[in-house]
A and B are shown apart, each in its own frame.
Chain A
Amino acid sequence: MTTRIQNPEELLKKYEEYKDLVEVRADLDYSGDQMFILVCGGTGCVSSKSLNIVENFNKLIKEHGMEGKVHASITGCFGFCEKGPIVKVFPENVFYVQVTPDDAKEIFEQHIIGGEVVDRLLYVEPITQKSMHDSLEMPFYKQQMRIALRHCGLIDPEIIEEYIGVGGYQSLAKVITQMTPEEAIDIMKQSGLGGRGGAGFSTGRKWEFGRMYKSDRKYVICNADEGDPGAFMDRSIMEGDAHTVIEGMAIAAYCIGADQGYVYIRAEYPLAVKRLQIAIDEARELGLLGKNILGTDFSFDVDVRLGAGAFVCGEETALIQSIQGNRGEPTTKPPFPAEKGLWQQPTIVNNVETLANVPVIFEKGAEWFAQIGTEKSKGTKVFALAGKVNNVGLVEVPMGTTLRELIFEIGGGVRGGGKFKAAQSGGPSGGCIPEQFLDTPIDYQSLGQIGSMMGSGGMIVMSDSDCMVNIARFYLEFIVEESCGRCVPCRVGTKRMFEILTDITKGKGTPEMLAELQSLAETIQDTALCGLGQTAPNPVLSTLKYFMDEYEEHVYNKRCPSGVCTDLLTYEIIPEKCIGCTACARACPVSCIAGAPKQVHVIDQEKCIKCGNCLAKCRFGAVIRK
């Protein structure tokens, strides 16, 4: 039975006690006889049966009577989702990729017992064809700097002792026993940490506002409503290191004078919800949440509130409405939540990644944090790298890293040998960044200047087989579905933009439409009520700016250069190349290809639905797409 930790000294004692648990994994010169097998327990790897891998390891440990010497457990996301499920063995620090539950036996017998690395399961560097066992040598990890993700892939997120063993909750202890709220806010301001939800507003200043307004009830909300399609940074942090978020919230609460916190999290993230709830329960049990934390006057508790699938609830005022049990419609600012938020009381809303940075700042100091990054953007940023890129995954890099480094060095370049066309950052609120800006350092300011935004960290890579008009249409479709309908510019304007874009992709575009798109986009930017509407035109504006040639091809020549917009495509058979094998005719779902065996075949353009089956089936290069 666990008992409450009464004071900072007891917490320190616990740290000494649990330190050994994780030392094996952090210390490369470890000489003891303990072995740890860590298996990625993030959503991606769990989908590929990683929990069965742990199960199998534990069975093997039991069978061989090696309990107490060999330990197998889950851990947070290693980030290299492309090669998942990932298994790491300590102290040798061997990194296995694409492991199946059946592979557990081989790893156990050959490596754990026999002491020999299983070469077959190592990562092979695609260029040199060299297999590597140390993750730090891989191009994917070499340039990364993991601060927010520091414990992902290191500790078991469902065991609080492991978090305490890496120094967890020491920052909270330091803040509430040795600092005044004002001193702590000053440190936050000096660190230069900006809101990782997208806008980059100084976290320290936000807290200062929260402190300034007087009330006997104040709230801290963690915004975990990560709705951007293709973004999974916050989810991974909560799945892999929920305690750090709770600790960050508690520090924030102390600074502004709040005693209640909420984590507003997407219902679509069941694993993150589960881990978060486990962490909250554990922290309460040890007295790290609740009344009189660590024997001080400071009391603070956290509850989970589920979202219900509304993208707009990522906007702070809409989120607050949702916690109050209403439709998640945003309200006008000012008053800002720091003045009148939840139940009209002072409230600060911080994003998950922002909060995950807080304990480190108090552990290592504001100066340490402020020296990472660029002049105006401090620290690191986590990106969910996805789309047409070789190394899909979660990466954390210092601010100021260039897009080229991110996509080509860490990401390993464009998948399938395609040519890079654009990177889309910031989800439906961001823009498409073309090739000419690949050397732009990533920070809040420079991404804004080139018409995109940092956003929460989604980074989708697109190749020459992606049509930018269609991508703009895709994002607008998302916005139309997710617009809450409260203000006219967003409700009607985005719908109209979507209709225009649909027309263009169907070959019904006119030159006037391009001007109309531009003017609608600018109007919505200026007049929409909340952040969702104001940023909704960004995908269109940025593609109009950098990919006008593609729009013009669609409008003037009724052609889709990337071969995506089906209505603008025609499939034809080159008579000289056709040998009459009938493969295309048999693959055609609408039977619109005529021709006898060994005779030249012909496509009936009237009936053709442009599915592309014939092109895929033809082995003689006789079918072409125009």
Chain B
Amino acid sequence: MTEQKNPCCTGSNPGYAELDTYIDALKIDPRDPERKEMLIMTLHKAQSIFGYLPSEVQKYVANKFSIPHADVSGVISFYNYFHTTPKGKTNISICMGTACYVNGSDKILQDFEKALGIKSGGVTEDGRFSIESLRCVGACGLAPVVLINDHVYGKVKQGQAEKIIEQYLIEFGEEVEVQ
């Protein structure tokens, strides 16, 4: 894993204080063989604070749990929900659940990829946008579904990508930080 050099997570970031409060409340006993029980919950918390989980944060958590960094990194790499690089300020997720897929979500994904000039999983160079596909948000009645940050756009048709992005930016602007 490459070292993340991002000002968000270095040194005196106030996020660490918030993370500390959370971890301290767990009262982790370094000798307790079951102490990893709250590891995944803690990583959720950390990701919600920092937006992603760079290796600095991973080491910090590992230290608090008295477990090797490799353990933490292994858990993070296993679960799709955790990511080690930041997403774009405006993250666009296209649902690839079966209901959306049979209603043409693959074509919708291509539309967005073309509109932003990046592939699924990528971030634009200026860090403003990222695209990813996700598995079923469960709003199958609205298939195909696109999520921009937390906002749901349902029954999306081919050729609407630019319009939806524009509409989102007009309505909500660029949100400061995305998880």
Question: Would B98 and A43 count as touching, CB distance under 8 A?
Answer: no
Interface: B51 (CB within 8 A): no
Of the listed stretches A118-126, A346-354, A383-391, name the one at the interface; the rest are far from the partner chain.
A383-391
Q: How many A-B residue pairs have CB under 8 A?
A: 124
For residue A231, give the distance in angstroms from its CB to the closest CB of chain B: 7
Q: Which residue of B lies closest to A391 (CB)?
A: B141
**CB contact between B99 and one of A84, A306, A460 (< 8 Å): that residue:** A460
Interface: A308 (CB within 8 A): yes
Interface: A268 (CB within 8 A): yes
Provide the residues of chain A in CB contact with B60, threshold 8 Å.
none
Q: Which residue of B lies closest to A463 (CB)?
A: B102
| Interface residue total, chain B, C-beta cutoff 8 A | 36
Contact with A along B129-164 (1 / 0, CB 8 A): 000001111111111010000001010000000000
Q: Which residue of B lies closest to A230 (CB)?
A: B98
Provide the residues of chain A in CB contact with B78, threshold 8 Å.
310, 327-329, 484
Provide the residues of chain B in CB contact with A387, threshold 8 Å.
98-99, 102-103
**CB contact between B75 and one of A268, A306, A325, A386 (< 8 Å): that residue:** A325
Question: Would A229 and B98 count as touching, CB distance under 8 A?
Answer: yes
Provide the residues of chain A in CB contact with B40, threshold 8 Å.
305-306, 308, 322, 325
Question: Would A309 and B99 count as touching, CB distance under 8 A?
Answer: no
Interface: B168 (CB within 8 A): no
Interface: B172 (CB within 8 A): no
Provide the residues of chain A in CB contact with B34, threshold 8 Å.
324, 343
Contact with A along B77-108 (1 / 0, CB 8 A): 01111100000000000001111011100000
Q: A268-B81, A308-B82, A309-B81 are in contact. Are A384 and B140 (CB under 8 A)?
A: yes
Question: Would B139 and A460 count as touching, CB distance under 8 A?
Answer: no
**CB contact between A43 and one of B99, B102, B137 (< 8 Å): that residue:** B137
Q: Which residue of B lies closest to A323 (CB)?
A: B37
Q: Which residue of A lies closest to B143 (CB)?
A: A386
Which residues of chain B from 10 to 45 have a CB within 8 Å of any chain A CB? 34, 36-41, 43-44
Chain A to chain B: the 10 pairs with minimum beta-carbon distance, closest first: A325-B36, A81-B141, A308-B79, A309-B81, A229-B97, A309-B80, A386-B99, A232-B138, A325-B39, A47-B152
Give 5 A-B contacts (CB < 8 Å), ordered by A residue: A44-B140, A48-B154, A306-B41, A310-B78, A310-B80
Interface residues of B (CB under 8 A from A): 34, 36-41, 43-44, 74-75, 78-82, 96-99, 101-103, 134-143, 145, 152, 154
Given contacts A325-B75, A392-B140, 7 further A-B contacts (CB under 8 A): A48-B154, A81-B139, A81-B142, A308-B80, A343-B34, A392-B141, A462-B102
